[in-house]
Amino acid sequence: MAENSNSTATPDTPENPFAVSESTESPDNTPIVDCILPSREVHLWSGTSGVGKTAFLFQTLADWVKGLPVLGYASHPVPFCYVACERSREHTLSTMSRVGINPRESHIPVVSAFDRKLRTMDEVGNFALTEVPDAKLLILDGITRLVPGNPNHASSVGEWFTQAGALIQSRGVTILAVTCASKAKEGERYLSPRQRISGSSAWGAMAGTVVVIEDEKSEDPRDLNRTMFILPLNSPPKILHYTLDDRGRFKLTAKERDVEAPNDFEILLFARPVGAYFTTKDVDEICDSLGISRRTGYRYVTTLISYDRVRRVTNGMYQVTSDT
């Protein structure tokens, strides 16, 4: 385990501080984070170029390994391995240090597939599970390097998901894959954020939860404000707003409650793919999460019906018909 950061820890540091005890009930079914990161699935953590997605992921991991809430949800730490697929281990550890995380004290095991020149899911999975044999979560930063073919083609992306699924089934792991998201075009920021993963739309269609982080004013490099879209498949989506401090750390802002209701309503509603159904209960949950009245929410739904973006199927049941 030469590249595992735990191997350089002081002697009184446990070799594996997050080992799952034998008495833990159904460890394979316990979510990594309640509601947003179910176990034994592939999830995507993405962000536009230069937005700070890797730095914020380390900041989030530093809370998760302590069992602290993550993005507002209860967390359940398990043994894990962080694999840098496009960067050296030295570069990755410097990113941790920049946001105030001491690599020797963080209990975040970091290895580099890039240093080892590994290019396939089999190679990377075996490498990570050799470094941390009991890992139940693999964080793969820079997954496009591992795609067998062109990451812009649905068939290549589908093959990557097939390989990832085989690893999940054979080793009982969860995969959090880190990749880039495309910048929203003018006027399209609120259209289908799940489809914003760079490359093929198959990324968003085949993943479990998708997280997208973007700067609020992409045209202004001085902008320190960030918006995060959390888009689970089976839980209500969520929008969080952050600003960066002088060390590049994400700080939650009051804008979490100061939302632009019509736009944010559309983001949460159209996190569903075209053809998906939703109910009045789903509309109520969106209204509650945004702090708007349900009467206002249903007025938005009526407007969307008039624009042929939503249709009423039955009383209390609707269907997404267009995401544009």
The whole-number pLDDT of residue 316 equals: 86
Neighbouring C-alpha atoms within 13 Å toward the C-beta of 207: 30
In this prediction, residue 17 has a pLDDT band, given cuts at 50, 70 and 90, of very low
Q: Which of 99, 141, 271, 23 is nearest to 128 (CA)?
A: 141
Q: pTM for this one?
A: 0.72
**Chain mean position to CA 221:** 24
Q: Which of 77, 65, 61 is nearest to 27 (CA)?
A: 77
- Looking at residue 19, the DSSP 8-state letter turns out to be P
Q: Does 318 score more than 50 pLDDT? A: yes
The whole-number pLDDT of residue 324 equals: 62
Q: Which of 290, 242, 291 is nearest to 269 (CA)?
A: 290
Which of 217, 234, 256 is at the close of a domain? Answer: 256
Pairing type for strands 174-180 and 210-215 reads unpaired
169 and 283 inside one domain: no
204 and 129 inside one domain: yes
Number of domains in the chain: 2
Q: Does 11 score more than 70 pLDDT? A: no
Pairing type for strands 210-215 and 225-231 reads antiparallel
Report the pLDDT averaged over residues 107-117: 96
3-state secondary structure of 293: coil
Please tell me the distance from the alpha carbon of residue 269 to that of residue 64, in angstroms, as a whole number. 28
62 and 20 inside one domain: yes
229 and 249 inside one domain: yes
Q: Does 202 score more than 50 pLDDT? A: yes
Which of 207, 235, 256 is at the close of a domain? Answer: 256
Provide the CATH number for the domain around residue 283. 1.10.10.10
The whole-number pLDDT of residue 189 equals: 52
Task: Determine the structural domain holding residue 293 and report its residue range.
Answer: 259-324
311 and 220 inside one domain: no
Provide the CATH number for the domain around residue 18. 3.40.50.300
Which of 256, 276, 304 is at the close of a domain? Answer: 256
The whole-number pLDDT of residue 29 equals: 84
10 and 67 inside one domain: yes
Please tell me the distance from the alpha carbon of residue 20 to that of residue 37, in angstroms, as a whole number. 18
The answer to whether 43 and 37 are in contact (CB under 8 A) is yes
Report the pLDDT averaged over residues 20-40: 71
The whole-number pLDDT of residue 54 equals: 93
